Structure 1
Amino acid sequence: MLFLAGDIGGTNGHVALMRAADDRPGHIETLAYRVYPCAAFPSLAELIRTFIDSEVRAPVSHCVLACAGQVMGDEVANDNLAWPILPAALRATLGLADVAILNDFEALGYAIDGPLAESGRHLCGPQLRGVGPSLVVGPGTGLGAAIYVPHATGGTVLTTEAGQMDFAPHSVRERDVLAWLAPEGGYVPVELIVSGPGLLTAYEALCALDGVMPALATPKAVTAAAAEESDSRAVEAVALFCAALGSFTGNLAMSYLPTGGIFLAGGFLSSIFDLLKQSAFEERFLHGRSVRAMLAQVPVWVTEHGSHGVQGAARWYMHHREATRTAFAEGAVA
C-alpha cells in the first residue's frame, strides 16, 4: 500500500511517499522525502501537488498530514500556518480518497518509540530513560507539546495546546518584558516568548526597555549574535528564552510526570544547543519546586525534528487503519 505522509508546520512542509508492507506488520518504508518552504506555495494543495509531480510514479489515493493546530470539524484551527487547511478541499483538489489529519506534536509523540528517541543529544538529568510517559516539546514557528503514554499494545499520544498557556514571568526582567508586551494587562501566550518568532520578540522588547533601536531583524540573526556575543541584548534574549523554556517544560513535567523522558524537538533548538546547555534551563526546570528531587530523575534530550513528524504520522495512520479494519471485521462477525 502506497500513501503520502506530511508534516506541515508554519515554516516548512515535509512530505514523503510511504509504503506499508503487507507481509511485515508495522513496517513502513520511505520511498521519497522532500522539504518545501511553505511561503513558496499559494496553498497546501499546490505544495503536495509539487511533490506528487516530482516524486510519485504510481497512483496514490491516501494521505495523512500532521499539522500545527487542532482539527475542528472539517478544518484545522491554527495561528501559525501559511494557509487554511481544509481536508475536504484537499481530497477534491488532489483526487484523493482519504485525507487524515492529526496534530503535528501528536505525530512526534508517535515517533518517540522510533528513531526520535535514538537521535537526541543529552541536555540534563539521567542518561537513561525510565519506565512511564514521555513528553515531547518543541518551539518553532509556534510552541507545541504532546505526551506519549506507553501500554502493552504500543502507546497512546495525548495532544495539547500547551503553547497557548499564559506566559508566567520568573525574574524582574521577564516581568518588564511581559509589561511591555501587554501594558494594559491581559492574555499573553507563552509561545509569544518561547518560539522562534518569540525570541525575536524578546530581543525587541529588551531593546525597547533599554531605549535602543534593534539591530537584528530575524531569530537566526539573534541566535548568531548571541553565539558570537556581539550584541548584549541578543545574548540576554537567548538567555531569557532558554530560561522560560525551562520553566514551561518543568510545569508540563509536573502535570504529566514523564519518567520516560522529555524530548525537546526542532532544528531551532539544535542550532543553539551549546547556548541552551550553558543557560538557566536546567535550574528553571527544577528550581523552587517541591518535586525537585523527582524532576531531577527525568532525562531531557534535544533532538532534530527532521523527518520524525512524517514518520510519526505514518505510524499513527497505519495503526488507525488497522484498528478500523479490526473493528469492521469484529462487527461483521458479530
Structure 2
Amino acid sequence: MQFLAGDIGGTNGHVALMRAADDGSGVLETLAYRVFSCAAFPSLADLIQAFVDAEVRTPVSHCVLACAGQVVGDEVVNDNLAWTVRPDALRARLGLAEVALLNDFEAMGYAIDGPLAASGRHLCGPRGRGPGASLVVGPGTGLGAAVSVPGVPHATVLTTEAGQMDFAPHSLREREVLAWLAPDGGYVPVETIVSGPGLLTVYTALCALDGEVPTLATPKAVTAAAAAQADRHAVEAVELFCAALGGFIGNLAMTYIPTGGVFLAGGFLSSMFDLLKRSAFEERFLHGRSVRALLAQVPVWVTEHGSHGVQGAARWYVRHRESYGALATEGAAA
C-alpha cells in the first residue's frame, strides 16, 4: 500500500514515499522524504521522477499532490507555481494510474490533527486549543489559508484563496504603499504585501516613497537587516508586514471564530519569530470594539511548514482513496 505524496509550492517541492496500513486505521508510515528546489527542474514530472529514481525501489502507481492554487478543469491555476500542473501529463510521463490533486493549504488543514498542532511556538492568545474551528495560514511565495471545522468522524477542511482578497490598508503609511503599488487604483491582492516577495515589495516601496535607492535584494536580507537594526526601511518594512499580517488574520478569524487555534505555517515566519513577537501583530489581530474580547480567545502559534503538507496530503488521500482508485488492490499487487 505504497503511494507518493507531494507538497508543491512556489519555491520548494516536498515529496515522500508513504505506506498506509491496510486495516482501515489510517496509520501512515513515511518510507522516504526529500525536499527539492522547484527552480532546479524544468517540470513537476522531472522533480517527481528525481525522487522516484533516488528513493523508490518497487513500482508505485498512485500519487497525491498538494499544490499551490486550485484545480480548475484539468490543471492547477496559480501564478506562483514554477510550471503548469496537469494530472494527465503527469500520469503519462510517470506511468501512474492515478494522480490526485488538492490545494496545498487544504493539505495543511488535514495536518492540524497530526503533529502540526504540537509543533508550534506560541505567539499570542490562550495557550490551549478550544473546541472551535482552526485556521492554518502561511505567507511564503504566495499567501495560503485553509479552515478545519471539527466533525465526526473527521474534521472537514475548507480550502480558500484568501491570499487573493483585496489588501485593506490600516495606517496612513500602508495607504501610501498601496498608492505606490496602484497609483491609478485597482485590485491589489493581500499576498502582494503579506508574503515573502511582498516583504521585499514593501521595502522597495518605502525606499521609493522616501526618495532613496533600495540596497537589499531578497526577503531574507530585509529580515536580517531589520533584526540587526541595520536599515531603517527594512525595520519599517518588517513592522508594516507584521501589522498587515495581523490585520488579515484577524479578518479571517472574525469570519470563522477559530478557537481551535490559528497556525501560522512556514519557515519564513519561523525565521523572524522574534521580530513578529515584538511587532504590532497582536494589536492588529485583535482589532477593536466588542470583537476584541472575542478574538482574545483565539490562540495563535507559529510552526515550521516542514513535512506537514506532505503528511496532510497523505491523510487526505487515505480518507478519499475510494474516490481515487483501489489503493489497497494496487498495494497488494505490488
Does 2:207 match 1:207? yes
Q: What is the aligned partner in structure 1 of residue 330 from structure 2?
A: none
Contact 2:98–2:325, Cα closer than 8 Å, also in 1: no
Does 2:65 match 1:65? yes
Task: Read off the aligned partner of 1:312 and give its amino acid letter.
Answer: G
Q: Secondary structure at the match of 1:154?
A: coil
Q: How many residues align?
A: 326
Q: Which runs of 5+ in 2 are unaligned?
A: 327-334
Q: CA deviation at 1:21?
A: 1.2
Does 2:172 match 1:172? yes
TM-score, normalised with respect to structure 1: 0.96
How many angstroms apart in 2 are the aligned matches of 1:18 and 1:325? 16
How many angstroms apart in 1 are the aligned matches of 2:163 and 2:71? 16
Q: What is the aligned partner in structure 1 of residue 99 from structure 2?
A: 99
Matches within 5 A, 1:1-334: 1-23=1-23, 25-322=25-322
How many angstroms apart in 2 are the aligned matches of 1:283 and 1:240? 13
Task: Read off the aligned partner of 1:271 and give its amino acid letter.
Answer: S
How many angstroms apart in 2 are the aligned matches of 1:38 and 1:32? 19
Task: Read off the aligned partner of 2:178 and give its amino acid letter.
Answer: L
How many angstroms apart in 2 are the aligned matches of 1:287 and 1:145? 20
Supply the RMSD in Å over aligned alpha carbons: 1.1
Contact 2:75–2:86, Cα closer than 8 Å, also in 1: yes
Q: CA deviation at 1:148?
A: 0.1
How many angstroms apart in 2 are the aligned matches of 1:134 and 1:228? 34
Query: C-alpha deviations, 1:60-104, integer Å up to 9, x for none?
Result: 000000000000010000010000000000000000000000000
Q: Which runs of 5+ in 1 are unaligned?
A: 327-334
How many angstroms apart in 1 are the aligned matches of 2:189 and 2:270? 23
How many angstroms apart in 1 are the aligned matches of 2:325 and 2:8? 27
Q: CA deviation at 1:23?
A: 3.3
- Which is further off, 180-189 or 21-30? 21-30
Q: What is the aligned partner in structure 1 of residue 331 from structure 2?
A: none
| Off by >6 Å, runs of 4+ in structure 1 | 323-326
TM-score, normalised with respect to structure 2: 0.96
Query: C-alpha deviations, 1:129-158, integer Å up to 9, x for none?
Result: 000110001000000100001112111100
Q: Secondary structure at the match of 1:65?
A: strand
Q: CA deviation at 1:273?
A: 0.2
Task: Read off the aligned partner of 1:244 and give its amino acid letter.
Answer: A
How many angstroms apart in 1 are the aligned matches of 2:296 and 2:5? 37
Query: C-alpha deviations, 1:152-173, integer Å up to 9, x for none?
Result: 2111100000000000000000
